[in-house]
């Protein structure tokens, strides 16, 4: 599940180091080409909302079959796009279908006992986040060497192979929910309305991921302007982010041993520190590397703790509470992508850094005011 989550979620992030190349192909501005990343993240949020709740109703194998067919078509369409609009539409459906790894996280929680739940979630999340960060390395290299279209065709081949493996190896789980799809979707509002800890987790996650999305969307432009580097170097920063992502398993174990309120507090402080480092590192590769490690570690710790909190309640509806949480998480990412592009266009890297600082401080404020409702 960890390996599969990483490969599928990578589809969401291949485009970020390629934005400069795509803008040159279609002759559009940096702000306009950022709509490719925005559409992908919005598609992911919609996929979470409309596909993942089905994990409480349908066999995971049935969901995979429909999802992978649409995903493969969307990847081919992206590679063949002749206009930016066509690429934006294809990117939306790539995001929509790449929500499927979020079925694996509740599965890991379901298949673990209470004492090992944090560790299991951490293992799957490590794979998922390594996929997020590793995708930028791969796409940056392939983009520079062979062009951005080849990345989408390569991803298509990977998804065909992965679908065959999943059909063969993934346990076939059949949930017990017998209501209609309409009632299933309506129940999302019930859980959102009645669970303050879920609402707070979604808000914290959204603010944290908004900052990270602003960083990765604009990093490629900073590399070009300040250092004269292309998409390969921008993507290579994913190597340093992986160091932070590997902390997911450690954080998962800590979740089983110490206060979740403390982990959230330390995570928010770490995010603020990482953005302060970014602020003074517009012309420092070392500073940017340190910031990447810290910002990914901080968000990982926050994210895994959020998920451990929401999965500890309502075991019959883990896919639905995960849907609510992750929709908020990726709506935050989409907003962060947009705000990051605007901040870059008007204020450059300084504007992006202050945006990240502001979002991280908001996490800290929300937690300090409402920490009694966190768990």
What would the pLDDT profile of 256-284 be if each residue is shown by its tens digit?
Answer: 667 788 889 999 999 999 999 999 988 88
Look up the CATH superfamily of 2-373.
MFS general substrate transporter like domains (1.20.1250.20)
Q: Can you say how many angstroms the Cα of residue 142 is from the centroid of all Cα atoms in its chain?
A: 21
Q: Is the pLDDT of residue 66 over 80?
A: yes
pLDDT at 244: 66
pLDDT at 8: 94
Q: Is the pLDDT of residue 176 over 90?
A: no
Q: What is the pLDDT of residues 188-246, one digit of tens each?
A: 999 999 989 999 999 999 999 999 989 988 888 888 877 777 666 776 776 776 776 66
Q: What is the pLDDT of residues 101-142, one digit of tens each?
A: 888 877 877 777 767 777 777 788 778 878 877 887 888 889
Q: Is the pLDDT of residue 251 over 70?
A: no
Q: Among 11, 6, 368, 12, which residue's Cα sits nearest to residue 212?
A: 12
Q: Among 355, 353, 350, 342, which residue's Cα sits nearest to residue 30?
A: 342
What average pLDDT does the structure give for the chain? 86
Of the chain, the percentage scoring pLDDT greater than 70 comes to: 93
pLDDT at 255: 62
pTM for the model stands at 0.77
Instruction: Work out the pLDDT band at 248, boundaries 50, 70, 90.
Output: low
Do residues 11 and 162 touch, judged by C-beta distance below 8 A? no
pLDDT at 74: 97
Q: Is the pLDDT of residue 32 over 90?
A: no
pLDDT at 189: 92
Q: Look at the alpha carbons of 223, 227, 231, 236 in this order and tell me if their dihedral is positive or negative.
A: negative
Reported residue count of the chain is 375
């Amino acid at each position: 599940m960890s390996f599969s989550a990483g490969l599928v979620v990578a589809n969401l992030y291949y485009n970020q180091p390629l934005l400069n190349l795509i803008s040159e192909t279609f002759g559009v501005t940096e702000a306009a080409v950022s709509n490719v990343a925005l559409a992908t993240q919005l598609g992911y949020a919609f996929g979470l909302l409309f596909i993942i709740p089905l994990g409480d109703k349908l066999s995971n194998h049935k969901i995979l079959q429909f999802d992978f067919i649409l995903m493969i078509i969307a990847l081919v369409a992206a590679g063949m796009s002749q206009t930016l609009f066509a690429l934006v539409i294809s990117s939306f459906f790539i995001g929509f279908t790449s929500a499927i790894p979020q079925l694996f996280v509740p599965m890991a929680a379901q298949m673990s006992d209470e004492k090992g739940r944090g560790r299991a979630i951490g293992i799957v999340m490590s794979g998922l986040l390594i996929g997020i960060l590793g995708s930028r390395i791969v796409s940056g290299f392939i983009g520079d060497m062979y062009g951005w279209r080849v990345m989408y065709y390569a991803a298509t081949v990977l998804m065909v192979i992965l679908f065959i493996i999943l059909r063969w190896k993934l346990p076939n789980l059949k949930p017990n929910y017998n209501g209609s799809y309409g009632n299933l979707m309506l129940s999302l509002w019930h859980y959102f309305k009645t669970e303050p800890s879920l609402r707070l987790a979604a808000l914290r996650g959204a603010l944290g991921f908004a900052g990270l999305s602003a960083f990765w969307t604009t990093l490629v432009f900073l590399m070009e302007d300040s250092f004269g580097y292309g998409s390969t170097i921008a993507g290579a920063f994913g190597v340093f982010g992986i160091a932070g992502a590997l902390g997911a398993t450690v954080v998962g174990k800590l979740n089983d041993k110490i206060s979740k309120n403390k982990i959230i507090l330390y995570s928010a402080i770490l995010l603020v520190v990482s953005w302060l480092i970014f602020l003074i590192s517009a012309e420092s590769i070392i500073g940017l590397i340190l910031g990447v490690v810290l910002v990914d570690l901080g968000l990982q710790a926050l994210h895994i703790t959020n998920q451990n909190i929401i999965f500890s309640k309502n075991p019959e509806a883990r896919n639905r509470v995960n849907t609510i949480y992750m929709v908020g998480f990726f709506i935050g990412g989409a907003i962060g992508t947009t705000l990051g592009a605007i901040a870059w266009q008007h204020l450059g890297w300084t504007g992006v850094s202050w945006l990240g600082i502001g979002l991280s401080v908001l996490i800290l404020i929300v937690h300090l005011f409402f920490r009694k409702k966190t768990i």
